[in-house]
Structure formats: C-alpha cells, structure tokens
Amino acid sequence: MAATFVAILRPVTVLIAPSILASDFGRLAEQVQEAERAGADVIHIDVMDGRFVPNITIGPLIVEACRRATDLPLDVHLMIVEPERHVEAFAVAGADWLTVHAEASTHLHRTLQLIRNGGAKAGLALNPLTPLAVVRGALPELDLTLLTSVNPGFGGQSFIPATLERLGVVREWRDQLNPECRIEVDGGINIDTAGAAVAAGAELLVAGSSVFNGRSGIAQNIGDLRRAATGG
Ligand code: DX5
Ligand code: ZN
C-alpha cells in the first residue's frame, strides 16, 4: 500500500544495492554479475571486523575481486573500529562509496575528508539508536547517509519500524542542506518493507537475503523488490 501511495505522490528514483553478504562466496563473481544483469544499480559490500560488530567478514581483497567482476559502483559499508586506518586501502581496492559509522570514528570530520581526498564518495552510517544530530552537522561533508534498520553485524534480521521516522527526519534535513546527498537504508529490506522505507525517504535500498536467498532467482527477486519499492 505504502509503495503505491508514494508513487502517486511523487515519482521516485530508487536504487537497489544487493549486499553480497548473503551471496554464495564460492561463486562471488558470478553472483555479482547475475545481480548486475538483473538490474542492480550498486553492489553493497559489508566489511565487519569482529570488534565494532560481532561478526568478521571481508577485507580489501574481496573488494578487489568485486571490482574485477563488475563496473557497477561498489558501495563499501565499513562496520569497523577506527575506519580511518583502512579507508585508503579500500579506496585503492576499488570502492566507489565508502561509508563509516559515526560511532566508530572519533575524528569523524577528518575521516570523511580523508575518504573524499582519496577519491571516493563519503558516507556516514548510524546504528538504530544513535542520535541523528550528527547527520545534520555532517551533511556538507556527505555524499551518502546510511541508516541501519537492524543492529548491524548479520544479514537476515527484521526491519526495525522506528527507522521510518528517522528516514523522514534525515530526508527533510537533506532536502534543505545538501540535496546531492543520497539516503540509504540497510537491513531487513524486502517486498514487505521496501515501499514504506521509500515512502519515508530512502532512495538506496540495501538488500541481502531478499535478493540472494529470496523466494525466487536473483533476477526475479530484484524485479519484485523494485516494484515493491516504487509501486510499479
Ligand atoms: C547488516 C549489513 C547489511 C546486511 C543486510 O549488518 O549491513 O548490509 O547485509 O542484510 P539483509 O538484507 O539480509 O537484512
Ligand atoms: Zn551494509
């Protein structure tokens, strides 16, 4: 319902960012290419260090492997402490967008500048209960704001409904202060939640389980998600 509602109110451009966290890593290149053929706009890569979040996933080598597999933008979500120590390595590996968590970087302003100076787009991510005020202050330095709609660390979790209100606040600030900044939502996005997230203000939808382990094949899953998101 919500998706239909938003489609009537305002035409929206929604980008779909499959998260490789839910893919078959034994066939990573194939899975990325399948997502690209199916119309994915961006490839989302979740980097976890076992400290900022409980889980450990991947490093720059896998970003490099994705870079070889596709020309789509690589959207690298750093769930690591002191991300400033690794920003350069991920940029060199081929990240187009580098997103750091506000909770993980003490000198955030400097970290965001470091990302841009390294030639990547700078993103800022917030956990579900982190006060939003930091986004308002950081907006001039941002190309992307990511609101996590689950507690980050694992795929396959349920969307936290309070994220919708947070998306609305960020959308308003973004429209006023930096219209170029994209708004991304990450966690629990599927055909039941995508429409509401877009109606609330999200433009870039990260989806892991619903794309790679969804009801159908990757192509059908991405198509279903896009329809649910745009009311098409
Ligand atoms: C969660 C990650 C997400 C994750 C989303 O910590 O940041 O990108 O892959 O997975 P789903 O879509 O399964 O919730
Ligand atoms: Zn992510």
Distance CA 21, CA 44 (A): 8
Quote the mean pLDDT of the chain.
95
Given a cut of 60, whether residue 98 has pLDDT beyond it is yes
Q: How many CB atoms lie within 10 A of CB 90?
A: 24
Q: Cα separation of 43 and 95, whole Å? A: 10
What's the mean pLDDT in 79-83?
Answer: 98
For atom 6 of ligand 1, which residue has the closest CA? 152
Each residue's pLDDT tens digit, 6-22: 444 445 589 999 999 99
Is residue 130 predicted with pLDDT exceeding 50? yes
DSSP 94: T
Are 65 and 33 in contact by the 8 Å Cβ rule? The answer is no
Pocket probe for ligand 1: among 209, 222, 225, the residue whose CB has the most ligand atoms within 8 Å is 209
153: Cα separation from own chain's centroid: 13
Q: Look up the pTM and report it.
A: 0.94
- CA of 172 relative to ligand 1 center, distance in Å: 25
Residue 97 has pLDDT above 60, yes or no: yes
User: Ligand 1, atom 1: nearest CA belongs to which residue?
Assistant: 152
Q: Is the CB of 214 inside a 6 Å radius of any atom of ligand 1?
A: no
Q: What is the tens place of the pLDDT at every residue in 19-73?
A: 999 999 999 999 999 999 999 999 999 999 999 999 999 999 999 999 999 999 9
58 lines ligand 1 (CB under 6 A): no
For residue 205, the model assigns a pLDDT of 98
**Is it the case that residue 218 has pLDDT exceeding 70?**
yes
Q: Of the candidates 27, 80, 24, 26, which has an alpha carbon nearest to the alpha carbon of residue 56?
A: 80
**Alpha-carbon distance 40 to 151, whole Å?**
24
